[in-house]
Amino acid sequence: MSGERTEFETGPGFPGDGRASGGRGGHVGAPPFVVGVTGGSGSGKSTLVRLVADELGREHTSVLCHDAYYRDRSDLDETERAALDFDVPDALDGLRFRDDLARLRRGERVCPPRYCFVTHRRDGDADAVEPRTFVLVDGILLLHDPAVRALLDLAIFVDAPSLLRLRRRLARDTIERGRASASVLRQYAETVMPAHVRYVEPTKTLADVVLKNTGRLEPLVEVAAALIRARRAGREEVRTGARLLA
* pLDDT one-digit tens code per residue, 128-181: 999 999 999 999 999 999 999 999 999 999 999 999 999 888 998 888 878 889
- For residue 12, being part of any structural domain is answered with no
- Give the per-residue pLDDT at 244: 77
- Strand ranges in the chain using DSSP code E only, listed in sequence order: 6-8, 33-39, 61-65, 113-116, 121-125, 134-138, 154-159, 209-212
pLDDT at 9 over 80: no
CATH code of the domain containing 197: 3.40.50.300
Tell me the sheet residues that pair with 211: 8, 158
- Give the per-residue pLDDT at 21: 35
Q: Which of 151, 149, 61 minimizes the C-alpha distance to 100?
A: 151
Tell me the sheet residues that pair with 116: 121
Tell me the residue type at 169.
Answer: R
Q: How much of the chain, in percent, has pLDDT values that exceed 70?
A: 88
Report which of residues 31 and 239 the model is more confident about: 31
- For residue 174, being part of any structural domain is answered with yes
Per-residue model confidence as pLDDT tens digits over 168-197: 889 988 888 788 899 889 888 988 899 999
The number of distinct structural domains making up the chain is: 1
Look up the domain containing 97 and give its range: 19-245
pLDDT at 8 over 80: no
Hey, how many other C-beta atoms are within 10 angstroms of the C-beta on 97?
Answer: 26
Per-residue model confidence as pLDDT tens digits over 58-88: 999 999 999 999 999 988 888 888 788 888 9
- For residue 124, being part of any structural domain is answered with yes
- Give the per-residue pLDDT at 183: 86
Task: For residue 12, name the pLDDT band (cuts at 50, 70, 90).
Answer: very low
Task: For residue 2, name the pLDDT band (cuts at 50, 70, 90).
Answer: low
d(CA 239, CA 236): 5
